[in-house]
Every structure is written in C-alpha cells, then in structure tokens.
Amino acid sequence: MSETPAPTAPLSAGRTGSRFCSPTGSRPRRGDEPGRDPARELPLRQSRRTRTPSRPDRRGAAPRAKELAPDLVTFCAGGNDIIRPGTDPDDLAERFERAVADLTGAVGTVMVTTGFDTRGVPVLRHMRGKIATYNVHLRAIADRYHCPVLDLWSLRSVQDRRAWDADRLHLSPEGHTRVALRAAQVLGHDVPADPDQPWPPQAQRSPFDARRDNIQWAREYLVPWIGRRLRGESSGDHVEAKRPDLLPL
C-alpha cells in the first residue's frame, strides 16, 4: 500500500456526468419506447470542470445540467478542498448539499460520489479522518435527497497503484473502468466484470525503485501542485469538457 497514489481526483470538481460514469438521457427515457434498445441509443455528455464547493461555479456546469434535464447526473465535489489545510468538512458539506438540492429539482437522478480511502497514501493518509468525516456528510445528504451513493471509499481495487495515472491524482484507464463498473452496479445494472476483482500479480519492486519513483513524482507533480495552491490556482482552471452536449455514444 505504500505506493498507492493520491486518490482524490474524482472529488476534485463537481460533475454533471462524470469522468467515470457519464451516460445521460433526455427525458422521457427513450428506452421506455417499444423496440428501442437504450444501451445503443444512450447519449453522453460531460460538464466542464467546475469550481470546487469553496469557490463559485463561474463556468455554469450545474445550470447547463439543469437546462439539459438529464436522466442521470453523477456529482462529486470537494476533493481539492478537503485536502487543503484549514478547510472545514462541515462547511464543504453545506455547499455540496446546496448544489444537490438545486440539481434534484431539475434532473432525473443525482448519484452522489464519496471520496477514496487514502490510508495507503503518503501525506494524505494523515487527512483520512477529515475525508471520512466529509464522506459521512455526503451519505447523509444522499439520504435526505434519496440519491444513490457511489461509495468509492469501499472500492478496494483502486487502492492498487495501477488504478492511477502517473500523477497519482487521476485514474488510469483500468481505474476508470473499475469505477464505472461500480457505478453501474449502484444503478442496478448487470456488469460484465467485478470492479473489485483482484489485480494480476506483479513483480516485487525494490525499496530503492519505489523511493526513486516517489522522488520523481514529487518533483513533477507534488511541487507544482503545492505551487498552484499557494497561488490560488487549480489544474482545472483552463480545462474544458470533452463532451459538453448530449451526443450519441
């Protein structure tokens, strides 16, 4: 577990559609029409990366989601904030709840996403209690608004280093797949594979190799991340959505 990456990216921004489960459909559901195969006609969209709960949504992802009135919105937010020193999970949760309340009145289903367990992550393991507190709030919010919960804290397979990209902040393709499978399970769908299926065995790495990789990661990713935080910047400030509109898969 010592090489587990910093699994916080999925909480870094509010999503309408998400990086791991983005299917949405305009109401009424086309799959309810006779002779239609909803799996083949499901449109897909992803919002812009929005501001995290401590900063206003200046780019309008949530209003855009309400305008489209999709069947499903996957919502995850607060990850960047929760790992910042001095932030309050209670305050973040209040902001999260306001967004959920706003969305649930306009869209079909809002799936609330928890944060990942950081127990095996250097530095972030010390924030595990804070993240857990935030997760408890998110579950309570989901209960109040009757939202399904995508519980990523309990998804053990993403504790493996291979579930994460080189920056240790974003999921790898296989990590995305496992989270998407879990999301589909939460929504009551049959899935072709178990998202918690054990990873294939891999060769044991030496402590020297692990230390070298950690130093390289700190130089390339951690130090710039700290610099952005000190400047009040975010890595998502100039990132646009890949699929901001409903389009066929």
Per residue, the 3-state secondary structure of 73-128, as one string, reads EEECCCHHHHCCCCCCHHHHHHHHHHHHHHHHCCCCEEEEECCCCCCCCCCHHHHH
The total number of residues written for the chain in this structure? 249
Q: How is the chain split into domains, by residue range?
A: 9-248
Give the C-alpha separation, 77 to 51, whole Å. Answer: 9
Closest CA relative to residue 82, chosen from 48, 120, 47, 117: 117
182: exposed, middle or buried (Cβ count in 10 Å: 0-12, 13-18, 19+): buried
The residue type found at 73 is V
**Residue 13 one-letter amino acid:** A
Asked if residue 242 has pLDDT above 50, the reply is: yes
For 133, counting Cβ atoms within 10 Å of its Cβ (0-12 exposed, 13-18 middle, 19+ buried), the class is middle
What average pLDDT is seen over the chain?
A: 77
pLDDT tens, position by position, 207-222? 999 899 889 988 998 8
Identify the pLDDT of residue 61: 65
Residue pair 168/6 in contact by the 8 Å Cβ criterion: yes
pLDDT digits over 38-90, tens only?
Answer: 344 444 555 444 444 544 444 456 777 788 888 899 998 888 788 888 899 99
CATH architecture, range 9-248: 3-Layer(aba) Sandwich (3.40)
Is residue 139 a contact partner of residue 114, using CB atoms and an 8 Å limit? yes
DSSP helix/strand/coil, 182? helix
Residue 155 and residue 195 in contact, taking contact as beta carbons nearer than 8 Å: yes
Q: For 137-178, how does the pLDDT look when each residue is reduced to its tens digit (9 = 90+)?
A: 999 999 999 999 999 999 999 999 899 988 888 899 999 999
pTM: predicted TM-score of the whole model, two decimal places: 0.74
Q: What share of the chain is helix, strand, coil (3-state, %, to 5)?
A: 40, 10, 50
Percent of the chain whose pLDDT exceeds 70? 73
